[in-house]
Amino acid sequence: MPDLVVRLGLPSGTRAVIVSCDELGLTHATNSAIFEALALRRTTSASLMVPAPWARASTANYRGEDVGVHLTLNSELDLYRWAPITQSPSLLDGDGAFPRTIEDVWEHADLDEVRREWRAQIERAVLWGFHITHLDTHLAGVELKPEFFDVYLELAEEFRLPVRLPGVEAEERIGFPFRAEAEERGVVAPDHVVPLDELGNTAAQIIEGLAALPPGVTEVHAHPAIDSPEIRAATPDWPERVAAHAILGQIETIVAGAQQRGVTFIAYRELAALARREPRVAR
């Protein structure tokens, strides 16, 4: 199959970057930072965490931006919790919320309940008026067990949506050829995924990091939040979230510098359009 950038209509060897913000709906501070980034084009895409406490409130600010669904089976924070939106006993911990760890989900979750919950999260986002462009997963790991991965791909096929996947270099560590399986089933995914903070913490460092990316489509993702008493109380990693918001405030400089180095910026919408127009794979 041709390289993803070629299928998107870009020249072979292009370094294309999607800048995305995760966990829309987690807190008011998260919503404020992400919608600011979307409105000012400081990010190209975002993903909605449907079961989270501020997810419903996010609909008031949505204006058709590029938003996917951040499929959720975990509630990892000690004092700030969220729960399934379906009746799914195997997805609950002793607090009546999602389990805190991926391993707990793997050990106890019923796959039919996982499928029903994830599908309900997608359908709830659509019901709220979001035009869904992609799927990714909360904590980026629960899907990386074969039976859970199969559910992930089933939903991508059903809704004709691209997904976030780790790069092929992770297959040996994870233990099965998940990228090859996705490709065989016609599921579109960026070639690489990189957290924003791995590229650096200044505009100059990030420009250099973007320029050094391999050819193909790379998703660079962040978890921004405005500084507030709420985010400080909700999550212990609030300094990193506030720092991500500050870096996104410099995105115009970063984009200009990276474009001068040959980087092209796209959104998940382009991948979603590709997923819809390519023929379904017979199974």
- What percent of the chain has pLDDT above 70? 99
Closest CA to 76 of 108, 55, 112, 105: 105
pLDDT band (50, 70, 90) for residue 232:
very high
**28-72 pLDDT, tens digit each:** 999 999 999 999 999 999 999 999 999 999 999 999 999 999 999
Q: If you average pLDDT over residues 131-150, what whole number do you get?
A: 93
Q: How far apart are CA 78 and CA 66, in angstroms?
A: 31
Token representation of residue 2: 């041709």
Chosen CATH of 4-277 out of 3.30.420.340, 3.20.20.370, 3.40.1440.10, 1.20.58.220 = 3.20.20.370
The residues that bridge with 192 in the sheet, in sequence order, are 218
pTM listed for this prediction: 0.95
Q: Catalytic residue among 22, 66, 136, 191, which?
A: 22
Q: Where are the domains of the chain?
A: 4-277
Q: What is the dihedral of CA 26, 49, 90, 88, to 10 degrees?
A: 110
Specify the pLDDT at position 280: 76
Q: Please indicate whether residue 245 is annotated as part of the active site.
A: no
Closest CA to 152 of 191, 179, 124: 179
Q: Is the pLDDT of residue 168 over 90?
A: no
Q: Which residue has the higher pLDDT, 279 or 233?
A: 233
Look at strands 15-24 and 263-266 and give their pairing.
Answer: parallel
Q: Please indicate whether residue 136 is annotated as part of the active site.
A: no
Specify the pLDDT at position 172: 82
Q: What is the 3-state secondary structure (H, E, C) of 180-249?
A: HHHHHCCCCCCCEEEEHHHHCCCHHHHHHHHHCCCCEEEEEEECCCCCCHHHHHHCCCHHHHHHHHHHHC
Helix (H, G, I), strand (E, B) or coil at 56: helix
pLDDT band (50, 70, 90) for residue 281:
confident
pLDDT band (50, 70, 90) for residue 256:
very high
Q: Is the pLDDT of residue 271 over 90?
A: yes
Rounded to the nearest integer, the mean pLDDT of the chain is: 95
Q: Catalytic residue among 134, 221, 223, 245, which?
A: 223
